[in-house]
Amino acid sequence: MDVLHQIDLRQFNHREHIRLAWLCGRREGREAGIVAFRAALLHVLEKHGDTSKYHATITQFWGYVIAQAINAAPEIDDFALFADQNPPLFDKNLIRQYYRSALLFSEAARQRWIAPDLKPLA
């Protein structure tokens, strides 16, 4: 979990979630990066004593959209530049374009990956 050393756990907000997913995706590639992101996020939640906040669908969604952004510009190896090039990723409501609230906040979506119901992931 050496990527966690690059994250400010005191301020683990949406931007830091994106940064963690970006670090994992850059290091591991798309599928392995999503697995690493999920494991790192669970580690953070365990460290803070509350894994009940983990949401499988939300985690995997962000892993996928960040992996797509990485694949679109693999030469970007600086997070600040990545952020400048991908402002929509820093809107935590982006996910609402892909999911109806009833599905996204269902217990099934919390427990396992469920594909978007409004707009497919490219």
Structure pTM? Answer: 0.88
pLDDT tens for 41-53 read 888 888 777 788 8
pLDDT for 94-107, tens place per residue? 999 999 999 999 99
> What is each CA distance from 2 to 5, 20, 40, 70, 112, in whole angstroms?
6, 11, 9, 20, 26
pLDDT digits (tens, 9 = 90+) for 75-122: 999 999 999 999 999 999 999 999 999 999 999 999 999 999 999 998
Which sequence spans correspond to the domains of the chain?
A: 2-92
Q: What is the dihedral of CA 12, 13, 19, 22, to 10 degrees?
A: 110
pLDDT at 3 over 90: no
Of 14, 109, 11, nearest to 57 by C-alpha is 109
Contact 33, 25 (CB under 8 A): yes
- Percentage of the residues of the chain whose pLDDT score is greater than 90: 72
